[in-house]
Amino acid sequence: MRESFDNLLRQYEDGTLTRRQVLGAITALAVPVRAGAQPGRFRARALSHVNIGVTDVARSETFYRELLGVPARRYIVGDAYALDFPDGGLISLCPTQGGNCSLTATADAAVPGQIDHFGVGIENFDAERVASELEAAGVEGVRLAGPTSVLVPDPDGVIVQLSSPTERFEGTPPNRDC
């Protein structure tokens, strides 16, 4: 960067640059460059949800409602309950006892206190097309999760659930009390 300042000063002294141009250039050098979006296979639009293993849904609901001011829970697919954010996205509370909402291939149930998976809403989502494109690109472990989601393990085994940015994961409540 020192060389850049020296060049600017030399150009000012030669009369190539005005004082205003030098000051503008120095300002531009001092401002950090913000990384632009990288071209990806798909365009992410939103972090749609985070699925957390909980031992007591009611206790966790109370904690997150008091901490974040979110509305009361609603049932979603896989025995999980959602705490919705006003501008989209949700926290999914997955019961560790009797719950059927873990997407981790190695777990029969969610693990207390751990993030089981997270969801990303992508532009122009179509489950069949997305799964086919990923498989054609050689991505391993791609699974369809019904017509609304595609599951993709990252290199460390964390499940990324791809879906439409507007997916709400509606479901029928289980026959048990949480």
pLDDT tens per residue, range 4-37: 667 777 877 888 778 777 677 776 666 666 666 6
Q: What would be the CATH architecture of the domain defined by 44-163?
A: Roll (3.10)
Ordered by start, the domain boundaries in the chain are 1-34, 44-163
Phi (first) and psi of residue 117, to 5 degrees: -165, 170
Which positions of the chain have pLDDT values less than 70?
Answer: 1-5, 22, 27-38, 105-108, 171-178
The answer to whether 66 touches 47, Cβ cutoff 8 Å, is: no
Between strands 115-122 and 74-75, the pairing is unpaired
pTM value is 0.70
